[in-house]
């Protein structure tokens, strides 16, 4: 009989354990939607913070400086930027064209030592007597750019294009070809 009694207690104990796990599962199932709701609230909150942050970055009012410069002299000296031969360059596009009318666009950028374009420099592009050079914009604009079109009516070959800005020859050259 003692054996049966122990077994019945064991059954009751297992029944209690089973009921406890079922209660725990029910409790976990009830908590699962709360977890989802809390997660969604956190995600929405983070998205709102991100949108606010992006708005504040794009807003020019936040990053305006309140600093003012105080000048002790009434005359302001304006320095003319000096031409930097190392920073200025010649660009050709396309590098190859057909003779008889196709054109290659030559763009010359005249820059100062800080890499900023120099306005108002007269640029001359030389291609020799065999090429036709058409100045599109021979004086540099605000970014230091001057443009030219080059074509060859009858002379195929490879040509080296040199540019001068206000009489100073630029270091970089462009190599183009006509077929």
Task: State pLDDT tens for residues 108-140.
Answer: 999 988 888 889 999 999 867 788 888 999 999
**Nearest in space to 142 (alpha carbons), one of 100, 96, 111:** 111
Domain range summary for the chain, segments of one domain joined by +: 1-62, 89-178
| Beta carbons within 10 angstroms of residue 13's beta carbon | 10
> Hey, which bits of the chain come out as E strands?
89-93, 96-97, 103-109, 123-126, 132-137, 145-151, 157-165, 168-169, 174-178
**pLDDT score of 123:** 93
Distance, CA of 177 to CA of 104 (rounded, Å): 9
**What does pLDDT average to over the chain?**
77
**Nearest in space to 121 (alpha carbons), one of 153, 92, 82:** 82
- Is residue 105's pLDDT more than 90? yes
Query: What are residue 93's DSSP bridge partners?
Result: 105
**pLDDT score of 13:** 47
Distance, CA of 90 to CA of 123 (rounded, Å): 11
**pLDDT score of 35:** 82
User: How is domain 89-178 classified at the CATH fold level?
Assistant: Immunoglobulin-like (2.60.40)
Distance, CA of 105 to CA of 175 (rounded, Å): 12
**pLDDT score of 147:** 94
Query: What are residue 2's DSSP bridge partners?
Result: none
Query: Taking the mean position of all CA atoms in its chain, how far away is CA 73?
Result: 40
Task: Write out pLDDT tens, residues 130-179.
Answer: 888 889 999 999 899 999 999 988 888 898 889 998 888 888 988 999 98
């Amino acid at each position: 009989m003692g054996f049966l009694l122990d077994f019945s207690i064991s059954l009751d104990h297992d029944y209690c354990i089973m009921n406890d796990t079922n209660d725990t599962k029910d409790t976990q199932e009830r908590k699962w939607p709360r977890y989802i709701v809390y997660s969604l609230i956190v995600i929405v909150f983070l998205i709102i913070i991100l949108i606010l942050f992006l708005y504040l970055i794009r807003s020019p009012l936040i990053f305006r400086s309140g600093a003012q410069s105080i000048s002790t002299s009434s005359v302001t000296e304006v320095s003319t930027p000096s031409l930097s031969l190392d920073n200025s360059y010649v660009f050709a596009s396309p590098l190859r064209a057909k003779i008889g009318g196709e054109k290659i666009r030559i763009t010359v950028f005249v820059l100062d030592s800080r890499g900023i374009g120099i306005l108002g420099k007269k640029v001359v592009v030389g291609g020799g007597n065999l090429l036709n050079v058409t100045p599109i914009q021979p004086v540099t604009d605000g970014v230091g750019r001057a443009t030219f079109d080059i074509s060859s009516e009858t002379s195929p070959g490879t040509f080296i294009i040199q540019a001068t800005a206000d009489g100073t020859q630029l270091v970089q050259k462009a190599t183009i070809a006509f077929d």
